[in-house]
Amino acid sequence: MSGSGLRGEPLNYDAVIVGGGISGATCALVLSHFGWRVAVVEREAHITPLLRGFSRHGVHHDTGFHYAGGLGKGEVLDRFLGFLGLSRKIELYPFKRQGFDRIIDRSTSDVIDFSYAEQDWRDSLLAAFPHEATAIDRFQQTVLSICDSMPYLNTKKTFGEEGLFAHSQDVSLQSFVAELTQDHRLRAALCLHCLLHGTPPDQIPLRLHAAVVGPYCRSVHGVRGGGSQLSQAFDDCLQQAGVDSFCSSTVTAMSVGREGEIAGVLLASGQKLVAKQVIHAADPRLLLDWLDERCFRPVYRRRLAALQETQSALVLFGRSAQPVDALAGRNLYLADLQQGTQLFSGTIAQRPLYLSSAGQGCGIIGIMPEDYSRFEPWQNTRRGQRPDDYRHVKQQYCEQIMERIDQTVPEISQALQSPFLATPLTLRDYLHYPQGAVYGVSHQLAHYPLQVATRVRGLYLSGQALAAPGLMGAMVGAFYTCGTLLGHQRVAEELNQCH
């Protein structure tokens, strides 16, 4: 059922979830499973908008999901999807076990593979760096140990009320790999997956990076049909669960009772949604606009206001007449490993470029880190109304990226038709982050992690800002938030029945 969003009598719910991305939709399904009446408010026209992607020139392009670890039988995402009812509505396919991620090193022309299954992961890196067995072993053992210590990532982990990403083991990824090896190329290879969360190696806590990349050591899958199929599965499950969806709706304020407790939300349409529990699964900084400043202490307000965004990007889209063999069951990373851990700086020829054809279709996507600052001269413009000098720079970037692909993987450049580019300004306009962040709020070493519960009784946080980006992070954050409301052990017992 979808909410009308029209002005009328207040509607009452057990919980209202603000933000209908993966985390918000997951929270809604978990709470409805336990009998709660739930509403989701989403500013876009559909729930999980980033998963849906878009179509152009008759080809669908994935924008929010490319591949995931943890989808093997009995692994964490497999259990999540089974619990939510999503696994019955999607078809998974395994990526290539040998080289699911392949790095082509510009500095040496070497090919370096990441493989899954723990021994294969080790052996594939050892083949490229035969004298670095100690460093490779310690990296893998540390990453998997961290993953296995986390609630919800490990079914045997005792559930408690402590933060999902505690301050223990707070060392940067860059510092950790610097201790492991003097080989700059290996350091760069071990840090390359920072592209999956958009925070540089010197700023990302090792613990959080491990949660993102650890599951890739064990299994890697895609969804046939890509993110749009997963999005449709969410739609079906939410409808079957009786969740009310208020799409194309924006929140203008959150209501707080006389005792400082949350009372609901007010939409721009004038509709009031009344609830004793509100889960905010969007940019936490929006709370500063929606709540009276007295609701939070000044130090917490400053903390929210100071949250920084992840890296922005240049995103190349194109189509091919048929699937490209070089991207069949694997992703490519074109990188200059001699740059070391400085992954987000340098020229277009030096910065890493991620290439994928998600969902086994004919749409090809390339993602390269880019600073929003380079596009600040046009920051007061909007899509469809940008001046000629902006379009000229955009076309130059597109041509340079295509040249980079042609020099390294001509099979892809020759197959890629009608290429076009999204810039940080494009991402800003579609993703609604002021600096065009690809993955929203950045998790940084210097920032203490946000907690689920806020000072406003009944107001909780979820989403990537709480846990980590990607399908894994969004779902882990959602289950942890729901565990805080319902009791972690209660949720864990239900979840562990899904094998």
What pLDDT does 361 receive?
64
Q: What is the mean pLDDT of residues 411-421?
A: 92
Beta strands, E only, 82-224: 92-94, 101-105, 111-114, 220-223
CA distance 149 to 295: 34
What pLDDT does 346 receive?
87
What pLDDT does 159 receive?
58
Mean pLDDT of the chain, nearest integer: 91
CA distance 423 to 441: 18
Inform me whether the pLDDT recorded for 255 exceeds 60: yes
Buried b (16+ CB within 10 A) or exposed e, 65-101: bbbbbbbbeebbbbbbbbbbbbbebeebeebbebbbb
Inform me whether the pLDDT recorded for 360 exceeds 70: no
Alpha helices in 161-205 (DSSP H): 173-180, 184-191
Residue 134, Cβ neighbours under 10 Å: how many? Answer: 10
Q: What is the pLDDT of residues 97-145, one digit of tens each?
A: 999 999 999 989 899 999 999 999 999 999 999 999 999 999 999 999 9
Residue 242: burial class (beta carbons within 10 Å; 0-12, 13-18, 19+)? exposed
Residue 185: burial class (beta carbons within 10 Å; 0-12, 13-18, 19+)? buried
Q: What is the mean pLDDT of residues 298-323?
A: 92
- Tell me which of 153-157, 177-181, 229-233 is least confident: 153-157
Q: Which two tokens stand for residue 128?
A: 């490229």
Q: What is the mean pLDDT of residues 313-319?
A: 94
CA distance 350 to 262: 49
Inform me whether the pLDDT recorded for 160 exceeds 70: no
Identify the structural domains of the chain with CATH numbers, from first to last: 11-71+80-87+224-307+443-495 (3.50.50.60)
Inform me whether the pLDDT recorded for 4 exceeds 50: no
Beta strands, E only, 19-128: 38-42, 54-56, 59-61, 68-69, 92-94, 101-105, 111-114
What pLDDT does 25 receive?
98
Q: What is the mean pLDDT of residues 393-412?
A: 95
Q: What is the mean pLDDT of residues 190-200?
A: 93
Inform me whether the pLDDT recorded for 448 exceeds 90: no
Is the pLDDT higher at 6 or at 337? 337
Q: What confidence tier does 466 reach under pLDDT thresholds 50, 70, 90?
A: confident
Name, in order, each residue with C-beta under 8 angstroms of 49's C-beta and a sequence gap of 6 or more.
20, 21, 42
Q: What is the mean pLDDT of residues 220-235?
A: 93
Q: What is the pLDDT of residues 261-281, one digit of tens each?
A: 999 999 999 999 999 999 999
What pLDDT does 322 receive?
85
Q: Which two tokens stand for residue 282?
A: 């969007």
> If we measure between CA atoms, which residue out of 328, 339, 240, 292 comes closest to residue 456?
292
Q: What confidence tier does 443 reach under pLDDT thresholds 50, 70, 90?
A: confident
What pLDDT does 444 receive?
86
What pLDDT does 167 receive?
45
CA distance 179 to 171: 11
Q: Which two tokens stand for residue 370?
A: 């880019």
